[in-house]
Amino acid sequence: MDYTVCVVEDEKVSRKMTIELLKKMGINNIVASTNGETALHKLKMQKADLIISDWHMPVMDGLEFYKAVRKEESLKNTPFMMVTVEDSKEKVIEALKLGIKDYIVKPLQKNSFESKVKTLLKF
């Protein structure tokens, strides 16, 4: 199956690493953005099967982006994974209570990342 994944990450090295991990899994259709606002515009034109977003970004952070995605009829059921340095228990609970499907603390661990992506995509 040919999946499209949206990667939203303002930090260039992290964005590149996430994209490389996806490509190694055979996922080559990747929509990349540096903030939630840009990603939202792109997603309205090209649907994704999975959204992977950082929490802390300029313009529109990950939680604001998540809330905006859920308001869009065509995107509201798209699996959403938060990838962030934010590791406090309170922040993790806040994200999960909002409905974020999965949460990974940076730095990314290849096996854990791949497993979570496969689960969310039903790979």
Strand partners, 102: 81
> 102 phi and psi, to 5 degrees?
-150, 165
pTM: 0.93
pLDDT (0 to 100) of residue 98: 87
Q: Is 113 helix (H, G, I), strand (E, B) or coil?
A: helix
For the chain of 123 residues, list the mean pLDDT of each consecutive stretch of 10. Answer: 93 96 96 96 95 94 94 94 85 85 87 95 90
Fold assignment, 4-121: Rossmann fold (3.40.50)
Give the per-residue SS3 of 67-95. Answer: HHHHHCCCCCCCCEEEEECCCCHHHHHHH
pLDDT (0 to 100) of residue 90: 87
pLDDT (0 to 100) of residue 1: 63
